[in-house]
Structure 1
Amino acid sequence: MFWNKGAERIYGWTAEEAAGRSLRELLYGDDYNSNLRAYVAAVVATGEWSGEIAQRRRDGSCITVDARCSLMRDVDGSPRSILSINSDITARLAVEEQLRQAQKLEAIGQLTGGLAHDFNNLLTVILGNAEVLVDRLSDDKNLRRLAEMSWAAAQRGAELVHRLLAFARRQALEPQVVDLNSLLNGLDALLRRTISQDIEIEFLQPADLWKALVDPAQLETAILNLCINARDAMPCGGRLTIETANISLDEHFADWKADAASGQYVMMTISDTGTGMEPNVLARAFEPFFTTKEAGKGSGLGLSMVFGFAKQSNGHVKIHSRPGEGTTIKMYLPRAAQADKEITSSPSRSKLPRGSETILLVDDNELVRTYAATQLASLGYKLVSASSGQEALDTLREITDIDLLFTDVVMPGRLSGLHLAEEARIIRPNLPILFTSGYADNAQGDLGFGIHFLRKPYRPSELAVKVRLMLDGNA
């Protein structure tokens, strides 16, 4: 009977077009019985009704409206018409859903981080002891095989924890100055073994590429994830192109969203000639646990891990794909300002560096503390242990000949590892400090460039090499 300007704006029908037509024809179509009749019956029975209703516009698109309905009566009290005041809440519901998703991911991230902190402590002990057993049981093949199985299973667990932390942006990163061309050249053989022989791999690398400030180990994992996805998108063969370039983004760069920062980046582009993605798949490509692969063929954490790693590294990721035209993913990594440093490889356990210095070991987990103390003592070091930041600080005031502070980052109480380091610098300004953690808690501060860090779970060889580098002043 009546159709105002607001209804014209919401639904697309003019008042002249809508007048005299049925609501079923205008707004409901096949959903007439499940939507219109339900609330009409409620209005007639009670005199009023309010709630959310699914409707459609003139162009066929679906909307949700917040409807407030009142029954209009004749002078004799009999029902005459229904006055319905509708508000389009489609956009609001979409924003609320995005907020719920963000809150859900944040909750998953907090849960993942808490579990990962404990799991990485346990895996540090399991991996380290399993590696020691593998070395010491060289004469007993049966027992050595069991130790190797334990090590392999724990390593897979550690990789899963790292993937979960990556998409939650809570993995502990150790950014270094990295030559991306050299890193890719080092991965060349591994990529060619991983990618099918019917897929051609091409590298395009400029000679004047800038250095990037990024965690090299996690970058390698991200590259492998992207290349494996590209391989799976080319079941009948094709071409995989990996290209590097220098790029400067200004604040007016049109292709970027508001969360992208201007600046200088090292860009890596990975392109394939595969099947490409439909728009609905592309829109969800970076969602955790979303995958188009068969059950058991993928976890859905690959691209979300890459996205989380890039954002946590102060970089960005863009993806472009069309069905039948392949997929291109661009990863932008921040340019490094510092000079490059030589990366020292880890020696075999039989040649682990030893020492006789005194190390203050701080970890609230007794198993990890005992394990690390045992490993370091076996290399000749003298150990002083503390289970909290405050205990470690008291120890530093009492013992003056400590040569290295080796502390966990995430610890309960007033003094986290980073806060302990700040207090320790006041007492001993030149004291070398080595941090360890399996979880980056935002409340603990950023582990940025210049922070010496050992990621949990760590192997005995990694612990030995890192400690010796710190003590020798070469870290």
Structure 2
Amino acid sequence: MIGSCADDRVFSGHHRTQRGGSSADRKRERKEAEAALIESEARYRLLAENATDIIWTTDMNFQTTYVSLAIEQILGYSVEEGLTLNLENILTPTSCQAAKRVFLTELVTEKRNGEDSPRTRTLEVEAIRKDGDKVWLEIKLRFLRDVKGRPTGALSVARDISERKSLQAQFHQAQKMEAVGRLAGGVAHDFNNLMTAVLGYCGLALHQLDEGDLVRQDVLEIKKAGERAAALTRQLLIFSRQEALETQIVNLNYIVVNLKKMLRRLIGEHIELAAVLAENLGTIESNSGQIEQIIINLAINARDAMPKGGEITIETANVVLDRDYARQHLDVTPGPYVMLAVSDTGHGMDRETQGRVFDPFFTTKEQGQGTGLGLATVHGIVKQNNGHIWLYSEPGYGTSFKIYLPQVEDEAAPTRAAETATQPSSGDETILLVEDEKMVRELAQHVLTRAGYTTLPAQHGPEALQIN
């Protein structure tokens, strides 16, 4: 159809220039025009069939009238199958409505402006492959017209932009997590100072109260509540990657094996626990306690997704993320990694939930049954360890979290020089105390003064330098 439109113009133009010749001349010119038409059509067809983008035409009812071979690579349909499809078969309902809206809008616009102002519109739509997978297409669309200029259908050129859309989504997610992390870190830092003062004064009060004092139990309850609040604060600091991290060489298999007994108690008897651990697993440089926290949080999340029972599988493996993988995933450096995967057979997650699952305080549980910090903490730990975490989930088919942590050489941990025990200070020294938070500074000054020290408090460095 593309070639015939162009070749019709070649034939007509050629015919007009030869008007008035002899019958033999007209016959010869007609044969030359027909040969040119055949050559032109073959050339256009060759271009269309070898294009990496899908070239297709539809009639005014959105029924396919021509489609190029690229449909096999991009959508999985043969050309013969493609000719039986219409817009509803190819696009998701939302994209189908959007494409029809653009089609009709352009039809009205071109009719209003006249046929001398044809336009090409570009739109992004989500298409459904033959195997059910979804791909994003960038479509450039314009109308096909008959010799009188009336629209007869549309010519579309569709390019697979799934990789670009995926990278854009990852970039936006990373931006969101970075912004939320900064906010959470700032709140956690201020809240941590408040809880330091609360717990500190609770400790001082407990030292002054006898075991049988009725007030002592009240202070203990305040202390317990403060410790829970401090634990939440630490999780926020982990999420925002502001908690100091002491690392060592770690083998994930050892951690999984040591955790299995505790995990079985956590998930309950109605859930099976399986471990698929790779032999000769590489090592990582991390903090054992934080890796344990990752596994425990993911196991609890999996347990909550299977109230009627199911199976949790913990898997480890040596993997190499190559350049192709790195190109498709934001911030991934090619190289050897150790993979930790935690999968369940639970109810799975829809797309909206997947997009928010790592947000702090986001939870699908009923009010009061979850803090919404478990997966946010996992995300923070992984990023703090220069790792990557990917979520694979489908409603009704379970969820799998895959974590990739950089592999390092298994070197012996450096030994520390023996430390000479020092005698504690007698308590009559003078201490320069620098702390910007007033409540924490006053608490520290109070504790040190009670211990017999003379303190010189300062809010910041410049003030400390002015103290004689």
> Does the pair score TM above 0.5?
yes
Change (3 A) 1:370 1:65: same
Change (3 A) 1:341 1:380: farther
Change (3 A) 1:115 1:57: closer
Q: Deviations over 1:325-358 (max 9, x none)?
A: 885756647556534679xxxxxxxxxx875355
Residue 275 of structure 1 is matched in structure 2 by 346
Q: Distance in 2 between matches of 1:182 and 1:360?
A: 45
Deviates further, 157-166 or 328-337: 328-337
Change (3 A) 1:369 1:254: same
Q: Distance in 2 between matches of 1:355 and 1:313?
A: 42
Any idea what SS the aligned residue of 2:433 has?
A: strand
**Unaligned segments of structure 2, at least 5 residues:** 4-43, 65-85, 89-95, 418-423
Change (3 A) 1:329 1:252: closer
Matching residue's letter, 1:275: G
Which runs of structure 2 are paired with 1:378-393 in the superposition (5 Å)?
378-392=450-464
1:12 aligns with 2:37: no
Any idea what SS the aligned residue of 1:384 has?
A: strand
Task: Tell me which of 98, 107, 121 is aligned to 2:193.
Answer: 121
Change (3 A) 1:7 1:153: farther
Residue 41 of structure 1 is matched in structure 2 by 108
Q: Distance in 2 between matches of 1:384 and 1:319?
A: 52
Which runs of structure 2 are paired with 1:164-183 in the superposition (5 Å)?
164-175=236-247
CA shift at 1:204, angstroms?
Answer: 9.3
Which runs of structure 2 are paired with 1:281-320 in the superposition (5 Å)?
287-288=358-359, 293-296=364-367, 297-298=369-370, 301-315=373-387
Contact 1:120/1:158 (<8 A) preserved: yes
Task: Tell me which of 219, 223, 233 is aligned to 1:147.
Answer: 219
Matching residue's letter, 2:332: D
Residue 363 of structure 1 is matched in structure 2 by 435
CA shift at 1:118, angstroms?
Answer: 1.6
Q: Distance in 1 between matches of 2:457 and 2:126?
A: 68
CA shift at 1:228, angstroms?
Answer: 1.4
Task: Report the number of matched residues.
Answer: 376
Q: Distance in 2 between matches of 1:56 and 1:7?
A: 23
Q: Distance in 1 between matches of 2:435 and 2:137?
A: 54
Q: Distance in 1 between matches of 2:445 and 2:355?
A: 46
Residue 413 of structure 2 is matched in structure 1 by 338
Task: Tell me which of 48, 54, 62 is aligned to 1:24.
Answer: 62
Q: Deviations over 1:14-40 (max 9, x none)?
A: 5xxx37x22633474462653321232
Deviates further, 199-208 or 386-395: 199-208
Any idea what SS the aligned residue of 1:275 has?
A: coil
Change (3 A) 1:268 1:125: farther
- Structure whose CA Rg is larger: 2
CA shift at 1:312, angstroms?
Answer: 0.9
CA shift at 1:305, angstroms?
Answer: 2.3
Change (3 A) 1:163 1:222: same
Which runs of structure 2 are paired with 1:21-100 in the superposition (5 Å)?
21-22=59-60, 24-26=62-64, 28-29=87-88, 31=97, 34-46=101-113, 53=123, 55=125, 59=129, 63=136, 65=138, 90-91=161-162, 92=164, 94-100=166-172
Residue 448 of structure 1 is matched in structure 2 by none
Any idea what SS the aligned residue of 1:361 has?
A: strand
Q: Distance in 2 between matches of 1:240 and 1:80?
A: 58
Change (3 A) 1:157 1:232: same
Matching residue's letter, 2:457: S
Residue 445 of structure 2 is matched in structure 1 by 373
CA shift at 1:309, angstroms?
Answer: 0.5
Any idea what SS the aligned residue of 1:171 has?
A: coil
Matching residue's letter, 2:359: P
Matching residue's letter, 1:175: T
Deviates further, 184-193 or 214-223: 184-193
Contact 1:177/1:340 (<8 A) preserved: no
Residue 157 of structure 1 is matched in structure 2 by 229
Change (3 A) 1:370 1:304: same
Contact 2:54/2:159 (<8 A) preserved: no
Change (3 A) 1:85 1:168: farther
Change (3 A) 1:104 1:240: closer
CA shift at 1:369, angstroms?
Answer: 1.7
Using the size of structure 2 for normalisation, the TM-score is 0.58
Contact 1:284/1:290 (<8 A) preserved: no
Q: Distance in 1 between matches of 2:269 and 2:110?
A: 68
Any idea what SS the aligned residue of 1:24 has?
A: coil
Q: Deviations over 1:34-93 (max 9, x none)?
A: 332123223333566776545566957665647587999999xx9878998877594555
Residue 112 of structure 1 is matched in structure 2 by 184
Task: Tell me which of 276, 300, 304 is aligned to 1:228.
Answer: 300
Q: Distance in 2 between matches of 1:58 and 1:228?
A: 35
Contact 1:116/1:165 (<8 A) preserved: yes
Residue 332 of structure 2 is matched in structure 1 by 259
Q: Distance in 1 between matches of 2:126 and 2:325?
A: 32
Contact 1:180/1:211 (<8 A) preserved: yes
Q: Deviations over 1:364-395 (max 9, x none)?
A: 22222222232344344443333223444666
Q: Deviations over 1:432-452 (max 9, x none)?
A: xxxxxxxxxxxxxxxxxxxxx
Residue 457 of structure 1 is matched in structure 2 by none
Residue 35 of structure 2 is matched in structure 1 by none
Matching residue's letter, 1:34: R
Contact 2:432/2:457 (<8 A) preserved: yes
Q: Distance in 2 between matches of 1:192 and 1:59?
A: 41
Any idea what SS the aligned residue of 1:173 has?
A: coil
**Unaligned segments of structure 1, at least 5 residues:** 343-352, 399-475
CA shift at 1:110, angstroms?
Answer: 1.9
Q: Deviations over 1:195-216 (max 9, x none)?
A: 3144566889999999864345
Identify the structure with bigger relative contact order (alpha carbons < 8 Å, sequence gap 6+).
Answer: 1
Any idea what SS the aligned residue of 2:436 has?
A: coil
Q: Distance in 2 between matches of 1:298 and 1:148?
A: 24
Residue 32 of structure 2 is matched in structure 1 by none
Q: Distance in 2 between matches of 1:368 and 1:39?
A: 67
Matching residue's letter, 2:230: A
Any idea what SS the aligned residue of 2:244 has?
A: coil
CA shift at 1:294, angstroms?
Answer: 3.8
Change (3 A) 1:307 1:281: same
